[in-house]
Amino acid sequence: MSAPYPDRLDLLRAPAHWQAVEFISDLHLQPGEPRTFEVWHAFLQRRVDKRADALFILGDLFEVWVGDDVLESSASTDQAFWRACADALKAFSLQTPVYFMAGNRDFLLGAEGLAACGMQGLSDPTPLDFLGQHWLLSHGDAMCLADTDYMRFRGQVRQPTWQHDFLSRPLSERTAIARDLREQSEARKRSTANDPSLWADVDAAAARAALLTAGAHTLIHGHTHRPAEHDLGDGLKRVVLSDWDAGAQPPRTEVLRLDAQGLRRIPLS
């Protein structure tokens, strides 16, 4: 099986003064889930001395992103919501650097969207050199190799020509296409079973291969909505971020913090 990742990865070196970083993913921010937005917004508004030295968003920050013009266009449904997200991030980023890696929902966030949010884009995966070790950061979808339908779809929509064609369409048409795709995806989930444990998971061999390529010992990723820590053998580990849903019982709004003490999950609500 061929590795889903390139052989050469760009290393992100943490500045020497960083003492702690935080990771989040899979917030799936959307206008219909105001409670999740509110918890996240309060998280961003913490005093600077309560923050880590950087925030890493490892994909699916947004439930859907059909082009950066959703922030500007009067034809944009929910433009005020997307704008509020961008403004909150931008304000946060003036004090604390924010890094963004695309997920399978928000991979169309482009240069303008990144700039509006004050975020620096990261390739998937990116090794982070921090605390004298390499940590491999990924969204995780590219390693769910057993979901062959999705891997085929991903291969198509991540091509520049597909994206150029899609983004050339009117905003209303892109919004409609995205809605159809989400409905198909939801229907597929219902037909298999409404149980995340039955959805494709990250392939252990692919995770090990990516870690070895990166010279890293721990993979940190989201996407699967199955927060856990997996031992991959030989000192290699896979740490999975929680998704966010402030309306769930119990609520899921969790940050993963990394400092000299190690990795720690911090629930926000």
Of the CA atoms within 13 Å of residue 162, those in its CB half-sphere come to: 10
DSSP string computed for 145-157: TT-HHHHHHHHHH
Least CB distance to Mn ion at residue 166 (A): 18
> How far lies 42's CA from each of 45, 85, 248, in Å?
5, 12, 18
223 binds Mn ion (CB under 5 A): yes
Nearer Cβ to Mn ion (37/150) = 150
Nearer Cβ to Mn ion (28/134) = 28
Nearer Cβ to Mn ion (142/171) = 142
Among 43, 63, 102, 103, binds Mn ion (CB under 5 A): 103
Among 36, 76, 104, 218, binds Mn ion (CB under 5 A): 104
Nearer Cβ to Mn ion (66/171) = 66
Stretch that binds Mn ion, among 100-108, 130-138, 187-195, 245-253 (CB under 5 A): 100-108
Binding residues for Mn ion, rule CB under 5 A, total 4
Alpha-carbon gap, residue 25 to 6, rounded angstroms? 23
The residue type at 18? W
Among 60, 124, 203, 245, binds Mn ion (CB under 5 A): 60
Alpha-carbon gap, residue 158 to 161, rounded angstroms? 9
Least CB distance to Mn ion at residue 222 (A): 6
Stretch that binds Mn ion, among 29-37, 61-69, 98-106, 249-257 (CB under 5 A): 98-106
Choose among 242, 257, 243, 1: nearest CA to 144: 1
Stretch that binds Mn ion, among 31-39, 102-110, 169-177, 249-257 (CB under 5 A): 102-110
Nearer Cβ to Mn ion (185/213) = 185
Nearer Cβ to Mn ion (223/252) = 223
| Count of helix runs (H) and strand runs (E) in the chain | 7, 12
Alpha-carbon gap, residue 136 to 210, rounded angstroms? 8
Alpha-carbon gap, residue 210 to 206, rounded angstroms? 6
Least CB distance to Mn ion at residue 31 (A): 19
Token digits of residue 138: 């990924």
Which residue reads 């290393």 in tokens? 11
Stretch that binds Mn ion, among 35-43, 49-57, 108-116, 216-224 (CB under 5 A): 216-224
Stretch that binds Mn ion, among 56-64, 118-126, 230-238, 261-269 (CB under 5 A): 56-64
Nearer Cβ to Mn ion (37/62) = 62
| DSSP state, residue 211 | H
Least CB distance to Mn ion at residue 18 (A): 27
Alpha-carbon gap, residue 69 to 104, rounded angstroms? 19
Distance of alpha carbon 233 from the chain centroid: 25
CB 236 within 8 A of CB 211: yes
Applying CB under 5 A, the residues found at the interface with Mn ion are 60, 103-104, 223
